[in-house]
Amino acid sequence: MLLINKLRTPSSVLSLLGSAFIIATYTAFKDIRSPASKLVLWLSVADLILAVSVVVQSLIAEIEFCAWFAAWEYCFCISTYCWVCCIAHNMLLSLHSQNIAQQQAREKWYHLFSWGTPFAFTAFLLARDEFGMVAAWKTCWIKNAWENPWYYIFYYVPLSLTYVFLVACFTVLVRRLKKMGAPVDLVALVKRSAIFYLFVFMFCWVNIWTSTTFVPIFGAFPLWFVEVGSTMYPLQGFLDSIVYGLNGRVRAKYAEAFCGRKGRVHPDEKQGLINAQSSSLHTVVA
């Protein structure tokens, strides 16, 4: 078994559990379902499939399957980026449009983007035989990653654009809330949540982004740096389950189900400022 696969397997198991929690929660509690929570569900599906790919690689360390393992992992890495962007985009649009039908109509485009884009990228790289063993990292990925221009075009650029898009969406969201005269505590809540989401995403991927950015300048990074990063990004599904799944409404439902008492929900949601049935904000900040 490759060392990097050994290191990232525990993180992937945590992501499996976190993603399964989101899926189980969505299935169990019908009254918390909404167009926004459905996007979180699909992010969790992508996270789960990504985690499974890492666990399977740790169990089947056959070199002849390396290209297919790399393609599987790459495809759902890109898919998770896409779904995170769709959630942020939906939050922004839903601030002014509370129409559930409009949110549901957007979902088909989100699916097209979040499944179509990674599958198209993966098919292109497979056709060019770009997946395989990365000797320097001793793992299956895009071959000769730091020296391969396709790696930068089809992996580094999407990752960087995701960072930029999330920062832009959350910045505009906070500014629009202030402009609309939203309560100060609600603006503060959204701001804290946005910082938390960005921190979690950066925590998972900053190691890979940093190494990819500076290798062309300073030369190859030591292997230990890559190994540390290999334990961070598989945690995405687990951390996403905390960031997007453990909002106030979910906590309240579990408190009611297991403790027989009403859980605490953010007061602004009770007042209707975050509409539980139609606003995307409740899914991630309540």
Give the pLDDT score at 221: 64
Q: What percent of the chain has pLDDT over 90?
A: 43
List domains and CATH numbers for the chain: 3-285 (1.20.1070.10)
Give the pLDDT score at 261: 63
pTM over 0.85: yes
Which tokens in the block code for residue 188?
């503060």
For the segment 202-227, the average pLDDT, to the nearest whole number, is 75
Q: Which of 16-30, 185-199, 235-249, 252-266 has maximum average pLDDT? A: 16-30
Give the pLDDT score at 274: 36
Which tokens in the block code for residue 160?
């960087």
Torsional sign, CA 233, 162, 115, 196: positive
Contact, 156 vs 178, CB < 8 A? no
Of the candidate ranges 29-33, 124-128, 150-154, the one whose mean pLDDT is the lowest: 29-33
Contact, 49 vs 16, CB < 8 A? no
pLDDT at 112 over 80: yes
The per-residue pLDDT for range 91-111, each reduced to its tens digit, is 888 887 667 778 788 999 999
Give the pLDDT score at 2: 55
Q: Which of 246, 178, 176, 235 is nearest to 202 (CA)?
A: 235
Average pLDDT, the chain: 83
For the segment 160-185, the average pLDDT, to the nearest whole number, is 92
CA distances from 207 to 92, 159, 253 (A): 28, 12, 36
